[in-house]
Every structure is written in structure tokens, then in C-alpha cells.
Amino acid sequence: MYKNAVVFPGQGSQSVGMLSDVFAEYAVAQETLAQADEVLGFKISDLILNGPAEELNSTNNTQPALVAVEVALWRAMNGAFAADVMAGHSLGEYSALVCAGALSFEDALLLVRRRGELMQIAVPNGVGAMAAILGMEDNKVEEICVQSAQGQVVQAANYNSPGQLVIAGNKEAVERAVDACKENGAKRAMLLPVSGPFHSALMAPAADEFAQFLEGFDVKNPSVPVLQNATNTFEQDAQQIRLNLVKQIASPVRWTQSVLQLADKGVENLVEVGPGKVLTGLNKRIAKQLNSQTVNSVSTLQAL
């Protein structure tokens, strides 16, 4: 049984100037950004703090940028919150693995930079799409996806919270599913401004290439279990973690099920470490009994 969980957000939580107050206040956070600059060979710190937004939002930059700021924030926390278990939403899983000691910070930056590049090039621009479906039962959305595929791919990609599901696949199939969801009573169904159909079967080529790239990196057993997206299992075995990281790229993110798993295992306190507060909002909708809080600024850090 676990009591305290730390979770890290994924793509979509980034913004220019994120956590700038933390970087101004904490030397360890500044050092972490400087380390990221050195590893990546360019000033990602400048991109994080000053933008431009279009460049920061490019997947191959967003992914290392988020890992850098989340690890910096965790280091600034300096053990203020003892985690019994960790998890992350999609990309956030890499931050969890760094903070749990399964991946080195340097390796994680190189891995997610490559992951972002491979995800970006796996499907040509305009071929794939993602859409958010709000106010509809998951199984109904899944049924509509099956009916809307018509020989193409459209499937659930992110189970974010009850009544909030993201679908992904071929653009035409996603558009058909969006129309069908609207007709069948979804509160909202809208295409998302993303560059690819992430966490769908169309990402299989990226997963295959990433598997080869990952072979050149060391994965260790983490100090605390990491609840992984692809399998929704608590992992402490390096080999299994490695397999799940590859699987994650073309598999749905089952966040709703992950948070329910944490609650089921006795977690009472859930701290989201990273910019924004997307997961905290989702977590409260999934399991109201959890004490969910966000660490995303100097004041929230000091309050913790």
C-alpha cells in the first residue's frame, strides 16, 4: 500500500516563462536548466523562459523542455514530499523515471528529444489528427470510433477523466468520429491543435525506431514503483520499464485508470509537480477523496 504519490504532467502543460519564479529563486533549478542546455547542445533554457511559443510548442522541443522544468522543480522540492509511488501523463512518465532514479536526467533529455522527433515524423502533417470528446461515456466513444474507422485508424488515445476522452488517428476518420459524437449527444467534440495522432496505432513506426534508439541507454530499477501508462502497472523492473516506454508511444494513456489504481492502493495525497495544474483538475474529477495539490511556483513549493 502507498500513501503519497507524485505525478508529472505531459505535453500541453508547457507555456513560455513557465516556472520562471522558481528559476529566479532556486540555484538548483538554474543548474538543472544549465545542465539541459549542455546535454542538448542548444539553449533550451532560453526557449523555456523567453520563447517563442511556436518553437517551444514544436514536439521535439516541448518534450525535453517539460522534462527539464519538472526535474528542476523536483530538485528544488529537495525531499519536502516523500513519494511512495510516482506516475506521469505520457511524456511526464520520463520525469517520473528520472526522479525515481530509473533514468539519468541527461539520458531522459536525449530520449525524449528523439521521441519527439520520431513522433513528429511518423505521420506526415495533415494526415493525422486528435480530438477531445467531452460529456460522453467512454464505451460509447469507443463504439463510435469502431464505426467511424472505415478502414482507417481512429481510437481512444487519452482516457483523461470520466467524460473526457481524447481520440486520435487518420484525420478523415477522426472527423467522422467527431461528427458522430456530436450527433450522439457529446457535450463537446473538437479537433485539437496538435501535430500528430499521438498514442494511436499510427505511431507504430515511431515506436519501432525508438526501441532501437533506447537500446543505447541504461535503465535502472527505480527507488519507488512507477505506475506506467501503457500497462497501468506498478513497475520496479528495469527491463519491463524499457518495454513499456516503447509500448507507450502507440498505446492509449489510461490516466483515469491510473488515478483509480493509486486510490485503490491506498494513496491519500497526490502532488502534481510541473507547470500548470491540468492533472490536479483531472485527479479531482476521477477520485474526489484524494488530497490533490499542485507544485508549480515558489509559493506552492514553500507551502508544501
Active-site amino acid positions: 90, 199
Which residues lie across from 188 on neighbouring strands? 134
Helix (H) or strand (E) holding 34: helix 27-40
For 100, how many CA atoms within 13 A lie in the half-sphere containing its CB? 33
Rounded CA separation 135/124 (Å): 31
Distance between start and end Cα atoms, the chain = 23
- Give the integer Cα–Cα distance in Å for 26 and 147: 52
171-174-178 Cα angle (round to 5): 135
Whole-angstrom distance, CA of residue 293 vs CA of residue 78: 17
The span from the CA of 297 to the CA of 143, in Å, is 41
List, in sequence order, every residue forming a beta bridge with 282; answer none if it has no partner. Answer: none
Place of cell 502532488: 271
Report the alpha-carbon distance of residue 6 to residue 85 in Å, rounded: 7
**Distance of alpha carbon 17 from alpha carbon 106, whole angstroms:** 22
